[in-house]
Amino acid sequence: MDTSSVISQQIRLEPAEAPALAALCGQFDEHLKQIEQRLSVSISHRGELFEISGEDNDRVAAAKVLLESIYREALAQKEITKEAIHLYLQESAIESLSKGKSDNGQVVIKTRKAYIKPKGKNQQNYVQQIRKHDINFGIGPAGTGKTYLAVACAVEALEADRVERIMLVRPAVEAGEKLGFLPGDLSQKIDPYLRPLYDALYEMLGFELVDKLIEKNVIEIAPLAFMRGRTLNNSFIILDESQNTTREQMKMFLTRIGFGSTAVITGDRTQVDLPRGTNSGLAHAMHVLDNVNGISITEFSSSDVVRHPLVQRIVEAYDKFDEEAEAERKEKEAQRKAERDAQQNEQGQ
């Protein structure tokens, strides 16, 4: 680092409490090192006094706001993990941090066992749209919180008595694998496909309560094929992995929605596991319903990924590969067309 261009800022984190300062810094300052690496700054500290140095004023200012924000969480005795640090960095990005955005007015989902804050503008907008519209689409790559936030909104609505039940629906399509015969009754056969939904429910309501609500049919988990012929009133319905629906299945599902119900349809258009030649109902619905009043569509991108940082890079790498492959395909198609046109011209002469 060129010392002649180094910008430094000092901050004093108050009230100075040793446990909160230790939580902020992490074991052997691992949290500070994580922030240093992501923002390209240097952080030194003695007690509650921190000094941030770097060549970019925005990054230094961003690190300052980030430290203050995380310290507030530590003072509130919230657990500060490496994953939490990553989410803070992912949530606000350098631009919003440098503007000193606070948590004031941030969307929050409250459930019995969890206090969930959507990360970043897109996730917050997604939750706001779900609260406003009867039918909502959340489209994007893995790790963007589409399904988790939908389940959180469903639990919140159930606990607030805005709906009478939660329905979790998923097409039972194998992800590129042939699993063969699965033993057990219907519930045991479809459980593997619905495991992510169960995990989210357990986290927000607890194992015992979820099991009781399932027994009472307050929470119903079903394969998509079993939705035909039903009308769902006063329900919160989530259709997960919707890219694996056919056109007919998607239309069938959307026309099940009754009065007092909210539906959230989540999916990733790049992860279709339907048989070759079968068109995805999700892609078709996006085209047909684009301008229909009362339906919200939230598009997530790799920048919204809130899992391990490598997940974001993997998504971006696949997107780049697909774009290059499509460009190459179009180029070859154009060359073949030019060759055909040239041959026809020669024959005409």
Assess if residue 144 is contained within a domain. yes
pLDDT for 167 equals 93
Q: What is the mean pLDDT of the chain?
A: 82
Q: Which of 37, 71, 98 is the last residue of a domain?
A: 98
Q: Which residue has the tokens 């026809």?
A: 344
Instruction: Write down the H helix ranges in the chain.
Output: 18-25, 30-39, 57-75, 82-98, 120-132, 146-159, 186-205, 207-215, 247-254, 281-288, 309-348
* Tokens found for residue 259: 């009065």
pLDDT for 56 equals 81
Write the pLDDT tens digit of every residue in 277-328.
888 899 899 889 988 888 999 998 877 776 556 666 776 787 788 788 888 8
Write the pLDDT tens digit of every residue in 227-258.
887 888 889 999 998 999 999 999 999 988 88
pLDDT for 266 equals 93
* Residue 3 amino acid letter: T
pLDDT for 99 equals 41
Instruction: Determine the 3-state secondary structure of 130 from DSSP.
Output: helix
Instruction: Determine the 3-state secondary structure of 77 from DSSP.
Output: coil
pLDDT for 160 equals 84
| Residues 130 and 56 both lie in one domain | no
| Residues 94 and 114 both lie in one domain | no
Number of domains observed in the structure of the chain: 2
- The domain that holds 63 is classified in CATH as 3.30.1370.10
| Residues 94 and 113 both lie in one domain | no
pLDDT for 100 equals 39
* Tokens found for residue 183: 């033993």
pLDDT for 311 equals 62
pLDDT for 276 equals 80
Assess if residue 329 is contained within a domain. no
pLDDT for 302 equals 72
* Tokens found for residue 345: 């011209």
| Residues 27 and 149 both lie in one domain | no
Using the 8-state DSSP alphabet, how is residue 100 labeled?
Answer: T
- Residues in the chain with pLDDT < 70? 1-4, 90-106, 172-193, 306-312, 315, 348-349
- The domain that holds 216 is classified in CATH as 3.40.50.300
The residue segments making up the domain with residue 17 are 3-98
pLDDT for 188 equals 60
